[in-house]
A = this chain, B = another copy of it.
Amino acid sequence: MGSTSLEMASRFVDRSPFNRWLGMSVLEAGEQGIVIGIPWREELVSSPEARSTHGGILASLVDAAGDYAVALQVGHPVPTMDMHVDYHRVATPGSLRAEGQVVHLGKRFATAQARVLDMDGRLIASGRGLYLLRSPQAAGSQDTSAAGGPGA
């Protein structure tokens, strides 16, 4: 994994105000995929009793890891068309890392998968997303069908 990929991925990550709020950083980046991380912060909590990390935060990590794995291959972040997330275990307070990998890179669409792990390497969540690689029309269309992700 080269420093160029890491630098490129870091630029993509840093552009997003939500990523910056999450404190997201790129830990590894290369041909094999990407690893991103976020530190703990109190606002990530879903249930105050369980002290669990909110499912929307875990979904954000799945989306981002998948998106930037694709971005490393196409040179820019890509709009997310849809996403599926499985929650395996409660994530209690602590930093999280997410590993993203491209499953299929087509001409117009890409599918990527991601795993979210806690500090002890336990699998917290996993999932996959479908990403739009390029548009037949000019960007900024009202009908992207691809509105949510890091590259939107």
A83 to B140, CA, bound (A): 26
Q: A15 to B128, Cβ gap below 8 A?
A: no
Q: A86 to B53, Cβ gap below 8 A?
A: no
Q: Return chain B residues, CB-CB under 8 Å to A17.
A: 42-46, 48
Instruction: Answer yes or no: A121 CB below 8 A from chain B CBs.
Output: no
Contact size range, A: 35 or more
Stoichiometry, as copies per complex, reads: 4
Report the minimal beta-carbon distance from A111 to chain B, rounded to whole angstroms.
Answer: 5
Report the minimal beta-carbon distance from A65 to chain B, rounded to whole angstroms.
Answer: 11
One digit per residue, 1 when the CB lies within 8 angstroms of any chain B CB and 0 when it does not, for chain A 9-34 equals: 00000011110110000000000000
> Residues of A at under 8 Å CB distance from B?
15-18, 20-21, 42-48, 50, 52-61, 63-64, 77, 79-91, 103-104, 106-109, 111, 113, 115, 123-126, 128, 130, 136-137, 140-152
